[in-house]
């Protein structure tokens, strides 16, 4: 059957489908990225599409109102194709993953982000290296008496500049392929980027002798005029991929950007992705989704900002969780989720650019932050480095709240880590009006106890209308609802107010922003189902911290500093988070939100091999505590799934 997808952004995609196939499945095959954070279980309501022509079968489901249903709205995951059909895909179903946000360094947000990164790294006295050297070469023009080949002519001149022997210098194919014409177009006057002794090929030496340093230097790329020296660092998140282009000479940002991880169409969490990856062709499907549809376009957009070509990127550093790193590399990772939870690799060190498939220089070194276990990955080892906690004598606690929650406690002597499945609630997933901490997100909120009206702040330029609520906004909303007595310790609405409604299924909603004041033209609300999801997430975090400390027989009071990081956003109100029982009750000044520590750690690896070595050491010294194997953990989780906790004395 013919299926036509009409996307809100104007694209039209044709596909054929078998009768009975779901709209979501046909869309995936057609490359139309429809949101499905619940992995097609019909529960999240993110995959709302509208039938324009033709027919689909399937129940209405709780996320579609009667009115919307009569207008043709359906859940893509719950609708089976029964005839030729034309389907409108609204931006709301696409926006999550398809929108690349890029900023050059002139923007305020990019500067803030760089400041946060510098702050995160300030505790580390890591040495930045000069991995590359630039040369400007004016060569003799060849003649009948001097018919030396172009490559050897450049190497000869470079050797003189570098004080090296000709045979110590090699040449990348990318540089060689450009060389003959660039020399002649520029009167034999070119800029050269030389890589020093880093990830270069060493000449064979199999006779038992010492390895020769025949490739101490590599002519890495050539330029008309001045060489470009730019690297890229990437935080490879389950929900969001963030990146920054870095001038490797000044170590400053030249562009930053982020994009939703397009793998989200195969599910919001790592488990759904691993399940999909184990299906036929799944490994390359998931790899392509993140490399071709997500990172390559992000890099390409950042490069446009910076006025360079992706192929000029000469080094990359990537930090991601264990699953994301496997899927990025096209390595089968399904054993991560199957007992005994064994990844294919912990520490890859690096690969060549061509193997990464993200459009950068084919011989660029691509570094990866190492994993410690199936659920403590490179984002955490890079993050621990960024906090500087592994250099301190005093104890610190590191809490990274992205799609998963990871917690590390320790100091320069030891590091103990654990992971909790917080779901995607902190990044706005599993919440009807949830969204990432990006433009339009409500990031903080106060409810007037008399009128029940909300006052909120929104990320974005002056006058930005709200589009949804991000993690920090959700903490505030629930804390406020609890403080004003509108919800009870179980998160259920007990008090009626002017902004509270109930739908036909019995779910109760509190309206934060009415349709006419929102960017989307729909109400922004929170339901008791949303609150329930969020409480389970915060309960998972608190019980993980509690169990981790208890396993060491230590109380919260030993924690000198708490580093918060991840997608939950910088707007987090610590007082409110303690109030709802998400974080331990400790003086608020011990809490520090330090941004995207995974990206900070990737940045450090990018500019310093020393930092990469230190992160490898952190990974080796870190112990992993499997919470599910700790007796009593489930009881702790249940006790923490209340507002604030069954043992309220913990928060007094």
Q: Which residues bind a copy of itself (CB under 8 A)?
A: 127, 129-131, 142-144, 146-152, 170-171, 173, 176-177, 179-181, 184, 196-207, 211, 213, 329-335, 339-352, 354-355, 362, 365, 371, 373-374, 609-610, 612, 626, 629
Tokens representing 185 are 């177009």
Question: Minimum distance between the CB of residue 354 and a copy of itself, rounded to whole angstroms?
Answer: 6
Question: Minimum distance between the CB of residue 130 and a copy of itself, rounded to whole angstroms?
Answer: 7
Q: Which is nearer to a copy of itself, 368 or 426 (CB)?
A: 368
Question: Minimum distance between the CB of residue 652 and a copy of itself, rounded to whole angstroms?
Answer: 38
Question: Minimum distance between the CB of residue 397 and a copy of itself, rounded to whole angstroms?
Answer: 24
Q: Which is nearer to a copy of itself, 257 or 282 (CB)?
A: 282
Question: Minimum distance between the CB of residue 368 and a copy of itself, rounded to whole angstroms?
Answer: 12
Cβ-contact 3, 26 below 8 angstroms: yes
Under DSSP, the state recorded for 203 is P
- Integer Cα distance of 203 and 157 in angstroms: 21
How far apart, in Å, are the Cα atoms of 24 and each of 42, 140, 448?
11, 63, 42
Q: Characterize the bridge pairing of strands 12-16 and 561-565.
A: unpaired
In the sheet that 350-352 helps form, which strands lie side by side, from edge to edge? 100-104, 253-260, 240-247, 230-236, 313-320, 365-368, 350-352
How far apart, in Å, are the Cα atoms of 532 and each of 128, 144, 148, 567, 635?
46, 82, 74, 20, 18
Q: Which is nearer to a copy of itself, 284 or 451 (CB)?
A: 284
Question: Minimum distance between the CB of residue 601 and a copy of itself, rounded to whole angstroms?
Answer: 17
Helices marked H in 258-341: 270-277, 282-290, 296-306, 322-329
Q: Within 10 A of 601 (CB to CB), how many other CB atoms are there?
A: 35
- Integer Cα distance of 621 and 618 in angstroms: 5
Question: Minimum distance between the CB of residue 363 and a copy of itself, rounded to whole angstroms?
Answer: 9
Q: Within 10 A of 452 (CB to CB), how many other CB atoms are there?
A: 19
Q: Which is nearer to a copy of itself, 283 or 407 (CB)?
A: 283
Q: Which is nearer to a copy of itself, 35 or 363 (CB)?
A: 363
* Ramachandran angles phi, psi of 295, nearest 5°: -75, -45
Q: Which is nearer to a copy of itself, 305 or 627 (CB)?
A: 627
- Integer Cα distance of 641 and 535 in angstroms: 6
Question: Minimum distance between the CB of residue 79 and a copy of itself, rounded to whole angstroms?
Answer: 35
Q: Which is nearer to a copy of itself, 356 or 442 (CB)?
A: 356
Tokens representing 97 are 């993953």
Question: Minimum distance between the CB of residue 173 and a copy of itself, rounded to whole angstroms?
Answer: 5
- Integer Cα distance of 461 and 361 in angstroms: 36
Cβ-contact 156, 140 below 8 angstroms: no
Q: Which is nearer to a copy of itself, 334 or 511 (CB)?
A: 334
Q: Which is nearer to a copy of itself, 352 or 421 (CB)?
A: 352
Question: Minimum distance between the CB of residue 215 and a copy of itself, rounded to whole angstroms?
Answer: 8
Q: Which is nearer to a copy of itself, 12 or 204 (CB)?
A: 204
Question: Minimum distance between the CB of residue 498 and a copy of itself, rounded to whole angstroms?
Answer: 54
**Burial tier of 584 (Cβ tally within 10 Å: 0-12, 13-18, 19+):** buried
How far apart, in Å, are the Cα atoms of 96 and each of 50, 458, 464, 595?
18, 18, 18, 21
Largest Cα span, the chain: 95
Q: Which is nearer to a copy of itself, 352 or 621 (CB)?
A: 352
């Amino acid at each position: 059957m013919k299926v036509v997808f009409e996307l809100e952004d104007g694209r039209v995609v044709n596909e054929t489908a078998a009768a009975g196939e779901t709209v979501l499945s046909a869309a995936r095959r057609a490359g139309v990225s429809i949101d499905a954070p619940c992995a097609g279980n019909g529960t999240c309501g993110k995959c709302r599409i509208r039938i324009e022509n033709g027919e689909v079968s399937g129940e209405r489901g709780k996320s579609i109102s009667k009115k919307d249903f009569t207008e043709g709205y359906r859940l893509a995951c719950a609708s089976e194709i029964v005839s030729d059909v034309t389907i409108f895909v609204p931006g709301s179903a696409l926006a999550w993953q398809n929108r690349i946000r890029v900023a050059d360094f002139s923007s305020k947000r990019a500067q803030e982000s760089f400041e946060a990164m510098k702050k995160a790294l300030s505790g580390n006295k890591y040495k930045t290296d000069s991995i590359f050297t630039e040369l400007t070469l004016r060569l003799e023009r060849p003649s009948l008496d001097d018919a030396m080949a172009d490559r050897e002519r450049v190497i000869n001149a470079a050797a003189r500049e570098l004080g090296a022997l000709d045979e110590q210098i090699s040449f990348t194919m990318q540089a060689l392929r450009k060389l003959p014409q660039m020399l002649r177009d520029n009167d034999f006057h070119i800029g050269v980027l030389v890589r020093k002794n880093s990830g270069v090929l060493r000449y064979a030496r199999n006779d038992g002798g010492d390895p020769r340093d025949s490739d101490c230097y590599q002519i890495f790329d050539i330029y008309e005029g001045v060489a470009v020296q730019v690297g890229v660092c990437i935080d490879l998140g389950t929900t969001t991929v963030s990146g920054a282009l870095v001038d490797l000479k000044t170590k400053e940002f030249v562009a930053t950007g982020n994009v939703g991880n397009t793998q989200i169409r195969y599910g919001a969490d790592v488990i759904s992705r691993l399940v999909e990856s184990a299906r036929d062709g799944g490994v390359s499907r998931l790899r392509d989704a993140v490399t071709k549809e997500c990172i390559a376009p992000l890099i390409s957009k950042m490069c446009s900002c910076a006025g360079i070509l992706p192929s000029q990127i000469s080094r990359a550093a990537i930090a991601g969780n264990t699953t994301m790193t496997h899927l990025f590399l096209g390595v089968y990772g399904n054993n991560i989720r199957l007992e005994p939870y064994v990844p294919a690799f912990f520490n890859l060190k690096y690969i060549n650019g061509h193997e990464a498939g993200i459009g950068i220089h084919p011989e660029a070194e691509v570094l990866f932050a190492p994993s410690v276990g199936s659920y403590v990955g490179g984002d955490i080892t890079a993050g621990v480095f960024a906090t500087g906690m592994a250099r301190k004598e005093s104890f610190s606690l590191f809490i990274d709240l992205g799609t998963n929650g990871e917690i590390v406690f320790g100091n320069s002597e030891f590091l103990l880590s654990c992971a909790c499945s917080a779901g995607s609630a902190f990044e706005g997933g599993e919440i009807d009006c949830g969204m990432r901490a990006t433009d339009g997100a409500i990031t903080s909120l106060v409810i007037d106890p008399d009128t029940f009206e909300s006052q909120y702040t929104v990320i974005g330029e002056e006058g930005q209308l709200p589009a949804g609520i991000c993690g920090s906004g959700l903490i505030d909303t629930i804390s406020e609802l609890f403080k004003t007595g509108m919800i009870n310790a179980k998160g259920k609405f007990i008090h009626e107010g002017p902004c509270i409604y109930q739908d036909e299924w019995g779910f109760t909603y509190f309206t934060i922003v009415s349709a006419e004041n929102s960017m989307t033209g729909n109400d922004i609300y929170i339901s008791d189902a949303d609150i329930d999801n969020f409480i389970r997430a915060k309960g998972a975090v608190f019980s993980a911290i509690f169990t981790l400390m208890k396993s060491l027989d230590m109380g919260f009071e030993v924690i000198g500093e708490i580093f918060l990081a991840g997608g939950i956003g910088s707007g987090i109100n610590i007082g409110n988070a303690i109030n709802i029982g998400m974080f331990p009750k400790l003086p608020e000044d011990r809490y520090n939100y330090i941004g995207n520590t995974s990206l900070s750690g990737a940045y450090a690896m990018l500019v310093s091999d020393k930092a990469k070595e230190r992160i490898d050491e952190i990974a080796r010294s870190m112990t992993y505590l499997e919470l599910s194997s700790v007796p009593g953990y489930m009881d702790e989780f249940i006790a923490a799934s209340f507002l604030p906790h069954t043992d309220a004395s913990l928060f007094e």
